């Protein structure tokens, strides 16, 4: 089905932007899953090699270091119980997406991971209301949560090409009540949007502040690259070397950017923009094709709204 796509306008050239001298960390609320059952027993992305041994104990230690890094900087971390037989459940970002207090659980592409969507839906239904979240159930379309759905504060950047379908983008727009911008991935190494793009700071809901991102242009079609350059003219463009160690699979609180310690070029680029990179060693979890962001699902509460939001729209990268 061809989606009707009214344009989502980029911020006006004169709107305010973040500056290198004024970076403020905003407390975040995350959901994570300890990798006690982590292993590579099947290969569903180019990073996975069933012949390479995995040390689950070491993976837990590395995961704990990431959790501690969040908590030491004022962020709240909830933990979902891992389930035996679901070795990829540690990649919590894939379990769903939460914006404005509305939570939608994932529906995975590969059968090996489909039970994870059920587990995350159960957590959102049972624990979400305590945290002010409303569960909208599991997605009807193939949708791999924040793996392919990244909120920039104004628009949901939505990846497609390998896992999440275009039809899922329309479902997200309707069920979460957000504007959605479709971006197409073309490199199998970057099979989820969160492996090729990171939101560094979110834009203001009134459009007065522009979101900032980092991304690897070659992971996208020419049309999607043009869309990104138009909407985010000041974006950090990652090098092949940094992208190849999942340096864009990062989490930012607006000041601190948590990312792999291996992406040294990205660390330097972030410092140049006034961010504080926080290097994390997740070498064991990299064997499954994930890093910092993959381990982190953000739980975004319902903000107070003075007026009703505009009707949601979906936009394709221009042809």
Query: Which of helix, strand or coil describes residue 116?
Result: helix
Cα separation, 153 vs 250, in Å, equals 16
Q: Which of 291, 285, 266 minimizes the C-alpha distance to 276?
A: 266
Cα separation, 214 vs 201, in Å, equals 10
Active site residue 294: yes
Other CB atoms within a 10 A radius of the CB of residue 241 amount to: 13
- Describe the strand order of the beta sheet including 236-237 as a list of residue ranges: 197-201, 212-215, 236-237
CB distance 103 to 133 below 8 Å: yes
Q: In the chain, what are the helix, strand and coil shares in percent, each to the nearest 5?
A: 30, 20, 50
Six-digit token string for 111: 């059968």
Among the listed residues 29, 169, 192, 267, the single catalytic one is 192
CB distance 294 to 249 below 8 Å: yes
Active site residue 192: yes
Residue 105 pairs with which residues in a beta bridge?
A: 96, 138
Longest dimension (CA), the chain: 56
Cα separation, 122 vs 166, in Å, equals 25
Six-digit token string for 152: 């920039």
Which residues form the catalytic set?
192, 294
């Amino acid at each position: 089905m061809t989606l009707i796509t009214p344009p989502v306008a980029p911020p006006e050239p004169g709107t305010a932007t973040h500056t290198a001298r004024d970076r403020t960390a905003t407390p975040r609320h995350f959901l994570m899953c300890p990798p006690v059952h982590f292993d590579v027993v099947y290969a569903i992305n180019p990073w996975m090699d069933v012949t390479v041994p995995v040390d689950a104990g070491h993976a837990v230690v590395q995961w704990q270091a990431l959790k501690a890094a969040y908590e030491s900087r004022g962020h709240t971390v909830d933990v979902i119980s891992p389930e035996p037989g679901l070795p990829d459940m540690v990649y919590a970002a894939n379990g769903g997406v939460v914006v404005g207090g509305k939570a939608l659980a994932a529906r995975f592409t590969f059968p090996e991971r489909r039970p994870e969507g059920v587990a995350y839906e159960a957590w959102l239904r049972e624990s979400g209301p305590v945290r002010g979240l409303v569960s909208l159930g599991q997605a009807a379309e193939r949708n791999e949560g924040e793996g392919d759905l990244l909120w920039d504060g104004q628009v949901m950047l939505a990846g497609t090409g390998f896992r999440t379908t275009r039809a899922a983008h329309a479902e997200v727009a309707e069920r979460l009540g957000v504007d959605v911008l479709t971006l197409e991935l073309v490199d199998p190494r970057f099979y989820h949007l969160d492996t090729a793009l990171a939101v560094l700071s979110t834009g203001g809901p009134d459009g007065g502040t522009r979101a900032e991102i980092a991304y690897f242009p070659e992971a996208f079609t020419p049309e999607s690259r043009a869309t990104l350059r138009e909407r985010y003219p000041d974006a950090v463009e990652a090098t092949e070397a940094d992208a190849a160690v999942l340096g864009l699979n990062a989490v930012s609180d607006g000041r601190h950017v948590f990312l792999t310690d291996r992406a040294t070029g990205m660390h330097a680029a972030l410092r140049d923009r006034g961010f504080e990179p926080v290097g994390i060693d997740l070498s064991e979890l990299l064997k499954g094709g994930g890093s910092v962001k993959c381990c982190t699902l953000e739980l975004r509460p319902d903000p107070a709204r003075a007026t009703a939001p505009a009707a949601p729209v979906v936009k394709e990268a221009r042809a």
